[in-house]
């Protein structure tokens, strides 16, 4: 998985920064989302931790876009870890079609 420099969601583009300068402080948090400046900040931790943290903040952005204001941190974090697991366990999922041959059903396979 690659953490992008920006990500477009719901018609707006969030900047994604890898930084230890969080408005919430980096002592107790490893990432944050700023809905006013459209910025996701992820602390420079281990790469896999950064990716899960990025997905966590992305899920906050999705929930916000859908109109949910009080996000359940436990559910957001569980979904982030579950999504990370699916993405990591299925690397061809977002690959171009020629690289995703294993996603197609084999001949004779039933739907």
Sites of contact with Zn ion (CB under 5 A) = 73
Asked whether the beta carbons of 52 and 80 are under 8 A apart, the reply is yes
Based on CB atoms, which residue is closest to Zn ion, 13 or 75?
A: 75
Question: Smallest Cα–Cα separation from 76: which of 62, 91, 64, 59?
Answer: 59
Asked whether the beta carbons of 24 and 32 are under 8 A apart, the reply is yes
Question: Smallest gap, in angstroms, from Cβ of residue 103 to Zn ion?
Answer: 31
Q: What is the dihedral of CA 83, 64, 72, 85, to 10 degrees?
A: 0
Question: Smallest gap, in angstroms, from Cβ of residue 87 to Zn ion?
Answer: 18
Locus of tokens 């943290």: 53
Question: Smallest gap, in angstroms, from Cβ of residue 80 to Zn ion?
Answer: 8
Based on CB atoms, which residue is closest to Zn ion, 72 or 88?
A: 72
Based on CB atoms, which residue is closest to Zn ion, 70 or 73?
A: 73
Question: Smallest gap, in angstroms, from Cβ of residue 40 to Zn ion?
Answer: 11
DSSP annotation of 13 reads E
Based on CB atoms, which residue is closest to Zn ion, 73 or 98?
A: 73
């Amino acid at each position: 998985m690659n953490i992008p420099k920006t990500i477009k969601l719901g018609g707006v583009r969030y900047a994604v920064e890898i930084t230890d300068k969080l408005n919430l402080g980096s002592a107790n948090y490893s990432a944050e989302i700023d809905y006013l400046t459209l910025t996701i900040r992820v602390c420079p931790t281990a790469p896999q931790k950064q990716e899960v943290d990025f997905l966590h903040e992305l899920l906050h952005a999705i929930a916000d876009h859908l109109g949910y204001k009080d996000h359940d941190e436990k559910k957001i974090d569980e979904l982030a870890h579950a999504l990370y697991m699916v993405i990591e366990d299925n690397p061809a999922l977002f690959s171009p079609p020629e690289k995703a041959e294993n996603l197609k059903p084999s001949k004779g396979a039933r739907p």
